[in-house]
Amino acid sequence: MKRLEGTWLNSREEDSGDTLVYRPNTYHFPSARGRTGFAFKPYGRFEQFDIAPTDGLTGHPGTWVIDGSKLNKIRIHLDEGPEPDYDLEVVSLENKVLKLRKLPAGKP
């Protein structure tokens, strides 16, 4: 899924229920104290961005892979960090808007 590659930040103003909305980091977001997100990089490299204690962003490297049985499910593994592996379900990716649901790893 080459269209996933890039840096995405959470547009939390657009989140709805369990669906999280992400836009490219070049999007003109409203002012906010900080935005979490991630970067899908080539060759399965991944970086999760969390808000640092100083309100900046801190990165957590890892890997991503598309689940072979479901093309809309992505398995995330962080090399180290605040949380265990998890899965992302791609709800949609249209017009530079990525909508996801976050699932614990191994859940349908």
Domain boundaries, the chain: 2-104
User: What's the pLDDT score for residue 106?
Assistant: 59
Q: What are phi and psi of 44, to 5 degrees?
A: 75, 10
Contact (CB, 8 A) for 100 and 89? yes
pTM of the entire structure? Answer: 0.87
User: What's the pLDDT score for residue 42?
Assistant: 95
Task: Name, in order, each residue with C-beta under 8 angstroms of 57's C-beta and a sequence gap of 6 or more.
Answer: 34, 36, 37, 49, 50, 51
pLDDT tens for the chain, residues 1 to 108: 688 999 999 999 999 999 999 999 999 999 887 899 999 999 999 999 998 888 788 899 999 999 877 778 999 999 986 677 899 999 999 999 999 999 866 555
The class level of CATH for 2-104 reads mainly beta
User: What's the pLDDT score for residue 65?
Assistant: 94
